[in-house]
Amino acid sequence: MPNCEHPLTRARHRWQDAHDRGSTAVELALAVPILLAGVLLILVCLRAGAAHIDVTSAASAAARAAAAQRTPALADAAARDSATASLAGLCQGVTVTVDDSRFARGGAVTVTVTCTADLHHLSGINLPGQITTSQTATSPIDLWRQEPNP
């Protein structure tokens, strides 16, 4: 059976087919970088959340370490050592603040840990910028513990 389609109609169909194939390539070329950027953003947010959790854990451990000491000076040193060891490799700058104003039997010690991390360390690629997170934890001091000798 002969083709009854008009030659101009056939040419238009061929042109539309070629145009559709080209538009798919353009759409793919635009969609892939956008999807990769979205995945990267999600990964950086997840790592930043994990860093926040790590700082929370470090603050809690530092407060417990400080509360176990017998003097405010030892508590300050123990809190700094604990927080620094917990955040080694994650933070470029760790600041530890110990509030020992209620450091006595039945009192409490409060530790604030601030961590500044480069996004490069959080994401694994060379992203510019830093993220700073800070957490505070309080630990009670045992009511029945023995006081240091003067």
C-alpha R_g of the chain: 30
pLDDT of residue 69: 93
**What range defines the domain where residue 40 resides?**
7-140
User: Is residue 27 situated within a structural domain?
Assistant: yes
User: Is residue 54 situated within a structural domain?
Assistant: yes
User: Is residue 114 situated within a structural domain?
Assistant: yes
Look at the chain and report how many structural domains it folds into.
1
User: Is residue 113 situated within a structural domain?
Assistant: yes
pLDDT of residue 6: 63
Q: Which amino acid appears at position 60 of this protein?
A: S
Query: What pTM value is reported for the model?
Result: 0.74
User: Is residue 146 situated within a structural domain?
Assistant: no
User: Is residue 63 situated within a structural domain?
Assistant: yes
pLDDT of residue 126: 73
Which residue did the predictor score with more confidence, 121 or 34?
34
pLDDT of residue 101: 93
User: Is residue 24 situated within a structural domain?
Assistant: yes
Residue ranges of E strands in 12-148:
93-99, 108-118, 130-140
Give the pLDDT confidence of 7-64 residue by residue, as tens digits. Answer: 667 666 666 665 566 677 777 888 899 998 898 888 878 888 888 999 999 999 999 9
pLDDT of residue 7: 64
Q: What percent of the chain has pLDDT over 90?
A: 44
Sign, Cα dihedral of 87, 105, 150, 101: positive
Angle between helices 72-86 and 7-67 (to 10 degrees): 160
pLDDT of residue 22: 65
Average pLDDT (64-76) is 94
Residue with tokens 């950086």: 44
User: Is residue 106 situated within a structural domain?
Assistant: yes
